[in-house]
Amino acid sequence: MSDVTARFTGTRVLVRHLLRRDRLRLPVWLVSLVGLSYSSVVAVQGLYDTPQAIATYQRTVGTSAAAVAMSGPPVALDTVGGITVFEVSQVAVIGVALMAVFLTIRHTRADEEEGRTEVLRAGVLGRQADLLATGLVVGSAAVLVGVGIALSFVSVGLSTGPSLLYGAAVASIGIVFMAVSLVAAQVTEHARSASGLALSALGFFYLLRAVGDVAENGLSWLSPIGWAQAVDAFGGNRWWPLLLSLAGTVAFGVLAGWLTTRRDFGAGLVAPRPGPPHAARWMTTTPGLAARLQRGTVLGWTVGMTVLGVMYGSLAGEVGDMIEGNETLEEFFSQSGVSVVDAYFGTVLLISALAATAFTISSVLRLRTEESAMRAEPILATATSRLSWAGGSLAVTGLGSVLVLMGLGLGAGVTTAFVLSDAGQVGSLLVGVLAYLPAVLLLGALALVLFGWFPRQAALSWAVLAICFVIGWMGDLLSLPDWAMDASPYTHVPQVPMETLTWPALLVLTAITLALGAVGLWGVRRRDLRTD
């Protein structure tokens, strides 16, 4: 057997093993991504069925900096196909990339960290077989998402060629980020930090193309997402940008393969350094321990959201430029008395607050991780009550959530203040972001209730966040009924600075949060510790 094939021995067996392990997870990803895309495809066909409606869309949404920053370049918005691409991209682009990152890390570094790979590697298995097998499985999943989206387009009567091109573009994003994640999995020793690294890369490339698409300065060509969106589906319809994605995938894949030969099994690229032989006083209390365990996550999220805020702020100048010469919009904004910039921030702050909630939920669910990893047991066997254990961790969750939101608000506020030479923006955007705090914490409290009463189902908290995302992001497009819109706490938050800050809704949200928190803690106190 040659050296090259020996490295991949056992790939076929491994592929079957991965498919079996993901027999539920893969269908859930595929069905949710394709299903969400399909519902938005259908909604678009219903809403934009006349030339007037299409023209209005091009003049309004197509010139909104917020929409371009989130969807991509406004291509062919004078056609239903172009509008469909623009709307579907909001979910599909990030969705397929997230799927690729989570699945890839799960089958590489997470398995290696847990010691499962060791059992396999000791058998007849090539050193790079797990990379190849993971790549094949996750790559195929991305292709299926692309096929599903293309079929959704064709099923409503859009032309086949451009539909397939767009499906291929979405699939290419998943495939590139699969390869990026393979590299991330080699660099760090921990699945958690490997995901963090891959997600940071995703965030970076997403922001790069957002700035590029809004400012039209070519930055988008430095991002794999930009390559995929350069296919101009329903516009120029060109296939060649996908070659860039292919080259990128091969480059990252080869890099990952090479890195496996440069490191020991179980290790990252950086050797662990010795640490302090004694614990600092501050970290031997329950809040101190939680702060020590979560400080990296809090810091990462705060920096990430600050960068996001800076990016949105830096576009504040373009927002006005984009509607210039567009009489309908200029008239609309001058009559309604709402500033274009404020309307822009109304949208982007809502989406950013939803993203920040992911920190809050994952921080609450740390309790569950500690419990199921049997690290809660030795703590609770000391003179530490359940309330103190959970309370210490939740204090860090609350404080961390404030920091993450403040980073977003200050990043956006300070940058906008510079761009528009208006110091008042700092305060108003900070208030605008912090107004979301009760809603963000409410979802955290819901996660606590699940943890306290149904610990094995605690991960359902993510489904709640996903629903709030759909309501907040796509509720208008899908024409959801009022009761459905009202189900999301984010709907009730006043969109400062576009709206004035009103307290009743925020106080109600806070009261619900506190009540849920109490119910959750009651559950934590009364139930058995469960490590299953």
Chain residues that interact with another protein, rule: CB under 8 A: 189-190, 272, 274-279, 283-286, 289, 292-293, 373-375, 377-385, 526-529
For 158, which DSSP code?
Answer: -
Q: Does an H or E element contain 192, and which?
A: helix 191-215
The answer to whether the CB of 172 falls within 8 A of the CB of 139 is no
Burial class (CB in 10 A: 0-12, 13-18, 19+), 123: exposed
Residue 1 vs 383, nearer CB to another protein: 383
Burial class (CB in 10 A: 0-12, 13-18, 19+), 481: exposed
Query: Token pair for residue 224?
Result: 């794999």
Residue 12 vs 526, nearer CB to another protein: 526
**C-alpha span between 256 and 109 (Å, rounded):** 12
DSSP characters for 96-154?
HHHHHHHHHHIIIIIHHHHTHHHHHHHSS--TTHHHHHHHHHHHHHHHHHHHHHHHHHH
Q: CA distances (Å), 154 to each of 148, 149, 163, in order?
A: 10, 9, 7
Shortest CA distance to 300 belongs to which of 148, 195, 166, 225? 195
CB of 8 to another protein, least distance (A): 29
Do you know the residue count of the chain? 532
